[in-house]
């Protein structure tokens, strides 16, 4: 469409960049309305399913016990709940490749840390309220860290640069220490 720029999705909105000298606001709105009508009758493509091997607890998941205590559950129950459902990747953001994953986390919803950590290791799996996410690079962060994956979620040197994309469906797969080390040493992507 003439005058249309970039479309940038967020967690619950869409930013539409456009050139008002080429297409006016009302013209853009009308064109987007026509596209929306066609989409509502179209077929949605299958989501890509991605399994994320995750080592829960211990030094890789320092907040697992807090999440369990906060939820009135055992650590094993938290792991079972967290790993027994699919999560939709709503968007990537915060850091390159950080997936905001939505699902049904009512039972294990836990508030963010009162004081964020200065360094959260890459691959850390966290919970913040009713969301879960994975830190693709070492960065500051305030989510409750319950585990870590050996998968590399962001690789600026090799396309595709991101392991996950909006619309993907993620399932966490509990692994033991040995499996974690094997996958980590083999440079999993």
Q: Give me the pLDDT at residue 188, please.
A: 56
Give residue 174's pLDDT band: very low, low, confident or very high (50, 70, 90): very high
pLDDT tens, 7-65?
A: 877 767 788 899 999 999 998 888 888 877 877 555 556 789 999 999 999 999 999 99
Give the domains, in start order, of the chain with CATH numbers.
Answer: 4-41 (no CATH), 49-185 (2.40.100.10)
pLDDT tens, 75-132?
A: 999 999 999 999 999 888 889 999 999 887 899 999 999 999 999 999 999 999 999 9
Instruction: Please name the residue ranges forming H helices in the chain.
Output: 25-41, 64-71, 75-83, 177-185
Q: Which long-range contacts does 9-16 make (Cβ < 8 Å, 24+ apart)?
A: 9/91, 9/166, 10/91, 10/93, 11/90, 11/91, 11/100, 12/90
Place of tokens 């009713």: 130
């Amino acid at each position: 469409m003439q005058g249309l720029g970039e479309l940038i999705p967020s967690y619950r909105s869409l930013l539409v960049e456009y050139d008002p000298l080429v297409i006016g606001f009302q013209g853009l709105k009308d064109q987007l309305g026509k596209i929306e009508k066609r989409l509502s009758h179209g077929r949605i493509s299958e989501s890509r399913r991605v399994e994320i091997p995750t080592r829960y607890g211990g030094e890789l998941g320092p907040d697992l016990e807090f999440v369990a205590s906060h939820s009135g559950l055992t650590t094993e129950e938290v792991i079972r709940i967290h790993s027994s459902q699919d999560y939709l990747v709503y968007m990537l953001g915060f850091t390159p490749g950080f997936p905001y994953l939505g699902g049904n986390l009512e039972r294990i919803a836990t508030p963010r840390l009162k004081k964020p950590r200065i360094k959260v290791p890459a691959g850390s799996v966290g919970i913040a309220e009713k969301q879960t996410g994975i830190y693709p690079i070492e960065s500051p962060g305030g989510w409750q860290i319950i585990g870590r994956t050996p998968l590399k979620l962001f690789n600026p040197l090799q396309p595709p640069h991101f392991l996950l994309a909006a619309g993907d469906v993620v399932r966490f797969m509990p692994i033991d220490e040995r499996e974690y080390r094997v996958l980590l040493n083999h440079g999993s992507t």
